Structure 1
Amino acid sequence: MPKVIAEVQTPGRRRRSEGKRAAILDAAEALFISEGYERAGVDAIAGRAQVSKRTVYDHFGDKETIFLRVLERVNDALVTTIRAAIDEELLPGRDLQEALTAFGHRIVDRALASSDYFAFRHLDAQQRPALRLPEADRDRPEQMLEKRFAELAAEGAIRAPDPALAVRHFTALTIGLAREAVTAQRAGARPPDTAAIIADGVAAFLRAYRPG
């Protein structure tokens, strides 16, 4: 009988456990951003999440693991945004200049302007070697875009024997310059014309990579 009761209660306990885990990560993210990794203690994380310190340790083990899980969660949210931009903007048969421009705007306007991106940049700046995401996770956005550029090359839309290099050139000319302009604005510079940056960058990329 007790076994049956335990099985019936398992989904409810699982939901409560998942809720506590999410609350801990929410609290940790807020404290790591506001206080920094060194000053954000497990006691403070537990208090903000309204759980016991033992519950925090039961779920994550130590503060380093909490930090990495927070960083992974923020990174996953950014990857989801980038994947959607690739799937919805870089469509087969769409005018390439229009597609690349729309993709650049999606990344700048939604990803770079998002709270997830702000959190990732803030957390990433605090990293020590032990607190870094695996390279496979860090490189996922570039790998997704590289796959799409390889498909564009196979379709004859671009001339890119090295899709990875083409991705680096494209992002440097568009998203990279837009990111620098946005960062400068936060430091007091005038608002950037990201539309012009993206348009100019796409045009420069196509001059180099469009067959002709």
Structure 2
Amino acid sequence: MTAIDKPVREGSLVKRAAILAAARDLFLRDGFERTSMDAVAAQAKVSKRTVYDYYGDKRRLLQGVVEDAAESLVHSLRKALAEHLSDDPPIGTAQELESALTAFAIDLGENVIASADYATVFTLMGEQRVQLPELESPLLLSAMLEDPIGERLAHFHERGLLNAPDSRLAADQLNALTTLLVNNSQPDPINLDLKSVRRTMTEGVRTFMRAYAAQRRM
């Protein structure tokens, strides 16, 4: 086994998680510029040398925080998709699909958009694009959410429940009617009005289905 192949020790995984959690809290509370590596080390209860050994510099640490939160978001999104939009039990009508999409959208609003991971990505990507210009493409928040949703919408198009031959465009529009409306009306993801989120998600799905339900196909 080479040095590259050598697995990370469990203790190292714990330290890495502690460093990321400390850096996330401090970046959100104090801002990237005002957060020192000494403060991160102190909050994580590790040495400053350990922080540098893992991440090299503060810019790479910021990237690690954003990527870790983004991966957690994608995991949560796929879990919500599997719970609400799987084929168990089968979704057989447009009405059942609207109900399933509504449940999914509300779950997305209450448990993903309102999460600390979403606040981390939403806030830090918005504030630190100069520091991390590479996040403009692969970790763009809308792409993270729309690509997995597009996969499921393509499935329901193939099943004849949606008229959505361009599933990515359909996902863009579903996102615009739900998640983006929440972001525009409530720009602070830490203090969301969940009742308003549920209403926005429900109405957004209803509007989406008026446009994309298969029975509207000419």
User: Does the alignment reach a TM-score above 0.5?
Assistant: yes
In structure 1, stretches of 5+ residues that fail to align are 1-9
How far 1:147 sits from its partner (Å)? 0.9
Q: 1:17 corresponds to which letter in structure 2?
A: S
Aligned to 1:177: 181
- Structure 1 segments, 4+ long, off by >6 Å, are 184-187
Percent of pairs identical after alignment? 36
Query: Which residue of 2 is the match for residue 194 of structure 1?
Result: 197
* TM-aligned CA deviation for residue 192 of structure 1: 5.2
More helix by share: 1
CA shift for structure 1 position 190: 8.1
Q: TM-score, normalised by structure 2?
A: 0.82
CA distance in 2, matches of 1:48, 1:192: 35
Question: Which residue number corresponds to residue 4 of structure 1?
Answer: none
Q: Report Cα offsets for 1:168-202 as digits up to 9, x if no partner.
A: 11111122223333337989x98753333222222
Contact 1:90 1:100 in 2 (8 A): yes
Residue equivalent to 1:107: 108
Determine the C-alpha separation between the residues in 1 that align with 2:54 and 2:19.
Answer: 9
Evaluate the alpha carbon distance shift between residue 109 and residue 53 of structure 1 in structure 2; reply closer, same or farther with a 3 A threshold: same
Moved more, 24-33 or 64-73: 24-33
Separation in 2, partners of 1:73, 1:119: 10
When Rg is computed on C-alpha atoms for both structures, the one with the higher figure is 1
Checking the alignment, whether the CA contact within 8 Å between 2:106 and 2:198 is kept in structure 1 is: yes
- Report the TM-score, using the length of structure 1 for normalisation: 0.84
Task: State the secondary structure of the residue aligned to 1:128.
Answer: coil
- Say what the alpha-carbon RMSD is for the aligned residues: 2.5
SS in 2 for 1:159: coil
Check 1:183–1:136 CA distance in 2 against 1; reply closer, same or farther (3 A cut).
closer
SS across alignment from 1:149: helix
Partner of 1:6: none
Q: Distance in 2 between matches of 1:107 and 1:101?
A: 10
**Matched residue type, 1:34:** R
